[in-house]
Structures are given as structure tokens and as C-alpha cells.
Amino acid sequence: MPPFHLAFPVTSLDKARAFYGNLLGCPEGRSSPEWVDFDFFGHQIVAHLAPNEAGHHSTNAVDGDNVPVRHFGAVLAMDQWQAMADKLKTAGTRFIIEPHIRFKGEVGEQATMFFLDPCGNALEFKAFKDISRLFAK
């Protein structure tokens, strides 16, 4: 699968480096005074300094949760997801949606959690009980 590229706004490159680089463990790539890219689980994400554009504003209901409309994240193996949830909890991360199982007993059963980076961007990390059902209807 080819890696994807995602550019997103941040209020501070220092905060982005601390969060994506230090907390999430994403190695830093190229950078400039206006942007920095990270290896986000094999994909390229680029934090662009744009303070007025960062953050999330809208939500939609999904299985009883108010999910931020604008978000990104990673689909991990279940053990990686649990390790990430534990790491984030230990770091004192405030979750928008606490780690839990969504669509329990359904085709798309998955573990999910939502939280904000320090610039207000919403992230979701998820893991599927059966990864072959990632796109199942």
C-alpha cells in the first residue's frame, strides 16, 4: 500500500514536535521555519504553521459518540492500540472519546479513541477485531 500524505495546520511547531515526535513517537523528517514532516506509522504528515486554521469545530454522531468531523489517525493492530491507549493515559492525555469498543458484535467492531493534539487537531486511533473487515459493509 502506498503511503499517504497529509498536511494539517498547527499553532506551534514546538508543540507539534513535542506531541507527534516525543509522545506519539513519530520520527521527524524535513522541516523549515513554517513546517515539519513526520513519519506517522509509515505515512507522511506535515504540520504547517497556520494558527488561525488549527482545531476542530464540528461533530457527527457515530454509535453514540460525538465524533469530530475533521480528524485523522491510524489503524493499528489491537496490541499496538492498547499500548498507545495506555501510553496516552499515562501521559495524562485528555480524551474527547475515551478508549472503548465501538460497533460491538457488528461487522465493523473496532477499538477506538479520540483526543486532541496541543493545537486542537482531532486524532483517532483504532484497531479492528478482524482487520479483514476494515471496509466491510
Q: Are 114 and 71 in contact (CB under 8 A)?
A: yes
Q: pLDDT value at position 97?
A: 94
Which pLDDT tens digit goes with each residue over 64-84? 888 888 999 999 999 999 999
Domain for residue 103, yes or no? yes
**pLDDT tens by residue, 94-114:** 999 999 999 988 888 999 999
Confidence at residue 44, expressed as pLDDT on a 0 to 100 scale: 98
C-alpha cell belonging to residue 89: 493515559
Helix (H) or strand (E) run with residue 62 in it: strand 59-62
Residue 7: which pLDDT band, with cuts at 50, 70 and 90?
A: very high
Please check whether residue 54 lies inside any domain of the structure: no
CA distance linking residue 77 with residue 18, whole number of Å? 24
Pairwise CA distance, residues 128 & 112, whole Å: 9
Establish if 125 belongs to a structural domain: yes
pLDDT value at position 63? 81
Residue 90 predicted with pLDDT over 90: yes
Q: Are residues 81 and 127 in the same domain?
A: yes
* 3-state SS record for 42-59: CEEEEEEECCCCCCCCCE
Judgement on whether residues 79 and 110 belong to the same structural domain of the protein = yes
Predicted pLDDT at 1: 84
State the CB neighbour count (10 A cutoff) for residue 1: 5
Q: Are strands 43-49 and 5-10 parallel, antiparallel or unpaired?
A: parallel
- The verdict on 70 and 101 lying in the same domain is yes
User: Does 132 have pLDDT greater than 90?
Assistant: no
Reported confidence tier of residue 130, pLDDT bands at 50, 70, 90: confident
Confidence at residue 41, expressed as pLDDT on a 0 to 100 scale: 96
Which residues are paired to 43 by β-bridges? 40
Parent domain of 33: 5-49
Q: What is the CATH number of the domain that holds 16?
A: 3.30.720.120
Summarised one tens digit per residue, pLDDT across range 23-53 is: 999 999 999 999 999 999 999 999 999 999 9
The yes-or-no verdict on residue 85 having pLDDT over 90 is yes
Helix, coil or strand: residue 78: helix
Q: How many Cα atoms sit within 13 Å of 36 on the Cβ side?
A: 18
Q: Are residue 42 and residue 67 in the same domain, yes or no?
A: no
